[in-house]
Structure 1
């Protein structure tokens, strides 16, 4: 078998982690928002809507910080 260069392996690992974590984050938020009905609200927002959107923003900030930390290391 051919050995992959270390730089190429690192780049591939970072790319796959970025895509995987981003897809998992989107899947989680879409599932929570649509399954439980917290994404949309009829007339006024409920407590579930507030909790969902707070979780959405906090997890988005955490994911972006993770991506910055992941990609800031030199290859």
Structure 2
């Protein structure tokens, strides 16, 4: 039997998932951007930079939506 209450478990699970998904998004975005040299447009902006920034913005919107869905459920205390 667990010593933690269900509310505390649910709260910690939400925190862990939010932090994990944020770090996963950050590392994949920075990894792809730096490996392919897409983060900073060197002499001028290219089509690769535009596609990368569109992907970055849309995946950030998806991450925010997922975190909203995780935290949408109300807690019993308020």
Q: Same fold (TM over 0.5)?
A: yes
TM-score range, shorter chain: over 0.9
Unaligned runs of 5+ in 1: none
Deviations 1:20-63, CA, capped at 9 Å, x for gaps: 00000000010011011000111211111011100100000111
Q: RMSD value over aligned CA atoms?
A: 1.1
SS at match of 1:3: coil
Consecutive aligned runs of 4 or more in structure 1 exceeding 4 Å deviation = none
Q: Which residue in the other structure is 2:33 paired with?
A: 33
SS at match of 1:64: helix
Q: Which residue in the other structure is 1:68 paired with?
A: 68
What is the aligned residue count?
A: 75
Q: Which residue in the other structure is 1:57 paired with?
A: 57
TM-superposed deviation, 1:2: 3.9
- Structure showing the higher helix proportion among its residues: 1
User: Normalising by structure 2, what TM-score?
Assistant: 0.89
